[in-house]
Amino acid sequence: MTSIDLKKTYRDHYTARATPSIVDVPERRFLMIDGHGDPNTSQEYADAVQTLYPVAYGLRAAVKAATGDAYTVMPLEGLWWVPDMADFDPADKSSWFWTAMICLPDAVTETTGQEVIAAVSRKKALPAGSKARVEAFHEGPAGQILHLGSYADEASNIDELHRFIADNGHSLAGKHHEIYLSDPRRTDAAKLRTIIRQPFTDV
């Protein structure tokens, strides 16, 4: 049996520095659930997170059974946006749309994903099982920065990242992206590690 550490396999896209840098992120498959509203107060978001992890581990078990290979379940990620990203305000989360998601290895196909989602959702009565899907997502060129601390204090790093993108002759495109490297249930807020990523296009 081979144990695959996807954080090492995708190292360039799951590590970041405290200063902005540019990455080019290829297409990968994700387990996804969409929703709307402030993640701090939205039951819809809580249901999504409560659903994603059991399904992610179910997918891991299915791959192991089929191939003999195990892999690490990746951290939770979030895409956040509003209809006009010029109005995106980190302080007003109530207006945000979001996709909560977990990156998957190539061994997980859309067909396998839907079969496992259905089976695990039935077995565990998952609250958002009907909304879950496996889908390819291609981010492309993006700027990113590591934020250390509370999610509520991200605004200065977001501003720094946006300035860095503009100073390098690019314009913002796509959705605000966060990768949660720390488990907030086990980590002090001051020590939370979050990759903040913003896709861009040439001006």
Q: Which two tokens stand for residue 18?
A: 């405290």
What are the domain boundaries of the chain? 3-202
DSSP 129: G
Which pTM does this prediction carry?
0.95
The mean pLDDT of the chain is: 94
Average pLDDT, integer, range 159-185: 95
pLDDT at position 51, please?
98
Arch. (CATH architecture) of 3-202 = Alpha-Beta Barrel (3.20)
Q: Is the pLDDT of residue 147 over 80?
A: yes
Distance separating alpha carbons of residues 148 and 130, to the nearest angstrom: 34
Residue 60: exposure state from Cβ atoms within 10 A (0-12, 13-18, ≥19): buried
Q: What is the DSSP letter of 139?
A: -
